Amino acid sequence: MFEPERLYDLYFDTVYKVCFLYMKNPEDTKDMVQETFYQMLHKPFNYESDEKTKAWLIVCASNICKNNLKKWWKKQTVSYDEEIGNQVEMSTTDDYANDVYQSVMALEEKYSIPIYLYYYEGYSTIEIAKMLNSKPSTIQTRLAKAREILKMELE
C-alpha cells in the first residue's frame, strides 16, 4: 500500500544524504529532497516493496540533482561550501566515524556516490551500476580508487 508519510519518514535521511553528495550545501539539498518526494507523489511507480522504493528514490534523487547541476545559472554561482563547511548532521558521536563520513563527502562525485551506496546503504556493485547507468566493473574500480584515496587521507 502506498503510504507517502511512512515512505518520507523511512527514506528522508537516505535521500538527503544522496542529494547532499551532489549539491554540497544544505539549502540546495533541501530543494532536491523536496523535488524527489514531489516526484514520488506524482509519478506512477509500483510500490511493491520497500527495497525497490528505496532504490527508486535514490535513482530519482540522483537524476534530479544531476539535472539541476546542468542548469546554466548553477554554473554561474559561487559555491560557499568553504564558508559553511560540509556539515551534515550525523547520528553518531564517534569522531572517527564522523571523520570517515566527512572524507567520503569530500570525495569527487564519481567516487562518493558509489562509496555511500555501497557502505552506507548496503547496495551491491551490480545494483549501484544499474542505478548509475554504469558497468559493474566501473563501479568496482571507483570503489577501489575511493578506498585508496580515503586510506591516504585518514592515515
Rounded Cα–Cα distance for residues 56 and 10 (Å): 14
With bands split at pLDDT 50, 70 and 90, how would you rate the model's confidence at 121?
Answer: confident
**DSSP character for 78?**
P
How much is the pTM? Answer: 0.64
Rounded Cα–Cα distance for residues 15 and 134 (Å): 20
Rounded Cα–Cα distance for residues 32 and 37 (Å): 9
Check residue 19 and give its pLDDT: 93
**Residue 93 reports pLDDT greater than 80:** no
* Of 144, 62, 138, 153, residue with least CA distance to 102: 153
Q: Please, what are the domains in the chain?
A: 1-89 (1.10.1740), 91-155 (1.10.10.10)
pLDDT digits (tens, 9 = 90+) for 16-59: 999 998 888 899 999 999 999 999 888 877 777 888 889 899 99
